Amino acid sequence: MPAVGQNVLRKEGRGKVTGAAKYVDDLSFPGMLYGSTIRSTIPCGRIRSTRPEFDPSEWVVAGVPDIPGKNVIALIEDDQPCLADGRVRHVAEPILLLAHADREALAGAKVAVDYEPETPVYDPAASPRVFKEILIEKGDLGKGFSRAARVVEGEYRTGHQEQLYIECNGVIAVPENGGITVYGSLQCPYYVHKALVVLLGLPPERVRVVQTETGGGFGGKEEYPSMLAGHASILALKAGRPVKMVYDRVEDMLATTKRHPSIVRHRTGVASDGRIVAMDIDVLMDGGAYLTLSPVVLSRGVLHATGPYRCDDVRVHGRVVMTNTPPNGAFRGFGAPQTLFAAEVHMERISEALEMDPVRLRELNLFRPGDTTATGQVLGADCSAAEVLREAVARTGFDARRQALSGTNAGIGLSLFFHGSGFTGGGEVRLASRASLALTPTGARILVGSTEIGQGTRTIHAQIVADALGIPYENVEVSDADTACVPDSGPTVASRTCMVVGKILQNCALEMKARLGSLSPARYLELHGPLVVTREYEKPAELEWSDETYRGDAYGAYGWGCNVAEVERDPDTFEIRPVRLTAVCEIGKAIHPTLAAGQIEGGTAQGIGYAILEEVVFRDGAMANAQMTNYVVPTTLDTPPIDVVILESAYPHGPHGAKGIGEMPIDGPAPAIVNAIRHMGVDLRQIPATPERVMEASCVSP
C-alpha cells in the first residue's frame, strides 16, 4: 500500500511521546559551563565603558576582541554585529558574554555599562533609513483609474507578533577537532554554519552544526540561532570548554525577532459593475534595528499585497525601514499575513462602498486559471481561488448565516487568500538545494538539512521516498540534520520543505530505484558496495523571474485558502470571542492528511491570536510584556472549533502534486475575524482587535 496519503506514524513521534527525545537543555558535556549575555538597556547610543561588578578571575568574560573572525552575523547583508562595538541600536542588544560553571551564579552577575544615549526612532514613517524598497508595476495605473466609477481608499495596520515556540532558543557550543561543534534548537543548521564560519574565521570543515530535537520554530529560529550560536562559540573557544546557553522566556521574548508591524495603504479603482480596474498599494514595514531578513519579508509581503484578485493596472510600492527596536524577522507567513490582512479588509470596505455582496464582489474579481498576477505570472490550472471560496460559502451557509446574524452582537466574515510556496523568484535557483539518499540493507536513509520542528518533515519525506522506491515506509530512516553528514537542502522555511526538498528526494529515490534494477538493497550493497544518490533542485523550465524588474513567476505554485469566521462581541467588555472558524485550503496534495490538517489548525489558531489577542507592547524600545502572563496567545479555551477542509489540485512539479502548507493557514484568520466584526457595523482597520480598540471603533460606528 502506498504511504503517501496515509496517516502513517510520525518518524519522531515515539521519541517525543516516551520522553526519549533529547532537547538541547537535556544534553550535558563534561566540563560544561553556562553562558549568559549582558544586553543593552537603552535603545540607541554609544557605550563609554563596561565594568564587571564581580571578580572577573572566577569567570569567563568575552567581548568584541575575543571574536576570532568578523564581528557580524552573516545573512543577507553583514550589518548586524554579534556583539555591540561601541554603540547600540536597540534594547537587549548583546554587549558582553559571561560564562560560569554555576548556572545560578550567572543570574546575579552584573556589569555596569556607561552609555551616552542618543535619540531613538520608533515611528517607521519617521525612519531615517530604508533597508529595502521594492516596486511592482503592471499596466498603466492612470489609465486604470480613468476607468473607475469609484475609488476606495484605506489604511490598515498590523502589530508585532511573537512566535512563542514552546522551547526557547538554546545551544551548546563544544570546542573540538580544532574548531567548534554547535548543538541547538534550530530551523536552519546551514544558516548557522555559514554565520559561524565568518564570525569565527574557521574553515567550513571545522564548523559543525547539529540540530537537536526542536520544540517549534515558526520562523523564530530562522536567524536568531546564528547569533546565539555565535555567542556560545565565542565563550567556548575562549574557555576551551563546552558552553550551554538556553534562554528563559523573558530573555527570548525581549531579545529575539518578532513579526514585522505594517502600515498598508490601498487606493482602488472599481468599475460600476464591481470589477477592480486599478490598484495602488503602499506597504511600509518596521524592520527594527538591523536588516536581518527584512528584504525577503518585504518581498513576500508586496507579492501578496493585491490579494488573489485580477487587475490589469497595478502598482505596489513597498519599503522596510529601520527603527530602534530589536530586529524584526521571519515569522510564519513572512510578510504575507500583513498585506493580506489589508487586502481582505479593504475588499470588505469596497463591498460596503458599492453595497455589493462580499462573496459576489470576490467571485467577480478573483484569480482564475490563465489570469496574471501583479508580476505578470500566468496562473496555471491549479489556481483554486474560486473553488475554496465556493466550498467555504457552501459549507458555512454563509449567506443565510449573514442574514440571521444581522443586527446582533455577533457577526460573520470571510477572507480569501493565496500563498506562494518556496523561495521567491530566483531564490530557489540561487539556493541550489541538495538532498541525498543512502541505500541501507533494508531500504534507504534520507540525508537532508531540512529540520523537523514539529511540522512533520521526517514523516512526509519518508513517505515520498518509500513510494518512489516501492518499499514500506518503515524501511526508510531519516538522518539527523547534522552539517557533518547531510547536504545543504536550503533552509526549513517558506513552505518549501515538502514541495521543493520533497521533490528532490523523490528524484533521488527514482534514480536509486533505477540503479537497483532487480536487485534487493542488501544484494546491491553486497555486489557494488555503498550507494548514495545526491540530487539538486531542478528549476521547472517554464519558470522565469527577474529580480531587477520584479516581473515573472514569483513562485512555482500557490496554495489557496478561504476562511469564514463567526464571532461574538461581549456587550460590556467589548471582547471578541471567535465562535467558529472554517478553513478551506487547497494544497495540491496532502501527503499526510492528519499532519496537513494539524498545520492548518495550528496556523489558524496562531492567526486567531494575531487577530484579537497578541499585542506586543513596547515601552522605551523594550517589550514591556515579555512573559506569557501578559503576552497572551490563544489557549484551547480561546480557540473555537476549527472546521478544516483540504482540497487538492495538483501542482505538476510538486511531489504527488503537493504545494506548500506551513504558512498559508495564518494568512486568513485575522481578516476573516475583522470582517466578521465589520458585519456588526464596527469600522476596525487594525489588529490585534483588543477590547479597547473594538470599544473605540464601536462607539464611533453607527
Q: Which residues bind ligand MOS (CB under 6 A)?
A: 219, 222, 330-332, 334, 493-494
Q: In whole angstroms, give the CA distance from residue 647 to residue 265.
A: 32
Tell me how far, at minimum, the Cβ of 333 lies from ligand MOS, in Å: 6
> Which CB, 331 or 558, lies closer to ligand MOS?
331
Strands 207-211 and 179-184: parallel
- Helix ranges (DSSP H) in 149-247: 189-200, 224-239
> Which CB, 36 or 299, lies closer to ligand MOS?
299
Q: Which residues pair with 117 in a beta bridge?
A: 45
DSSP 418: E
Tell me how far, at minimum, the Cβ of 217 lies from ligand MOS, in Å: 6
Q: Compute CA 214 distance to the chain's CA centroid, rounded to the nearest angstrom.
A: 16
Tell me how far, at minimum, the Cβ of 524 lies from ligand MOS, in Å: 38
| Residue linked to cell 524577522 | 329
> Which CB, 334 or 473, lies closer to ligand MOS?
334
| Residue linked to cell 482540497 | 647
Q: In whole angstroms, give the CA distance from residue 422 to residue 555.
A: 7
Residue with smallest beta-carbon separation from ligand MOS: 219
> Which CB, 422 or 654, lies closer to ligand MOS?
422
Which of 586, 583, 613 lies closest to 601 in space, CA to CA? 583
Q: How far apart are the first and last CA of the chain?
A: 60
> Which CB, 476 or 481, lies closer to ligand MOS?
481
Q: Compute CA 303 distance to the chain's CA centroid, rounded to the nearest angstrom.
A: 15
> Which CB, 257 or 324, lies closer to ligand MOS?
257
> Which CB, 358 or 603, lies closer to ligand MOS?
603
> Which CB, 188 or 446, lies closer to ligand MOS?
188
CA distances for 515 relative to 260, 440, 473, angstroms: 48, 14, 20
Tell me how far, at minimum, the Cβ of 489 lies from ligand MOS, in Å: 14
Which of 540, 666, 553, 550 lies closest to 601 in space, CA to CA? 666
Q: Which residues pair with 585 in a beta bridge?
A: 561, 646
Tell me how far, at minimum, the Cβ of 189 lies from ligand MOS, in Å: 14
Tell me how far, at minimum, the Cβ of 334 lies from ligand MOS, in Å: 4
Q: In whole angstroms, give the CA distance from residue 476 to residue 464.
A: 10
Tell me how far, at minimum, the Cβ of 179 lies from ligand MOS, in Å: 28
Q: In whole angstroms, give the CA distance from residue 639 to residue 635.
A: 6
> Which CB, 32 or 493, lies closer to ligand MOS?
493
Residues 435-457 as b or e (16 or more Cβ within 10 Å = b): bbbbbbeebbbbbbbbbbbbbbb
Tell me how far, at minimum, the Cβ of 494 lies from ligand MOS, in Å: 4
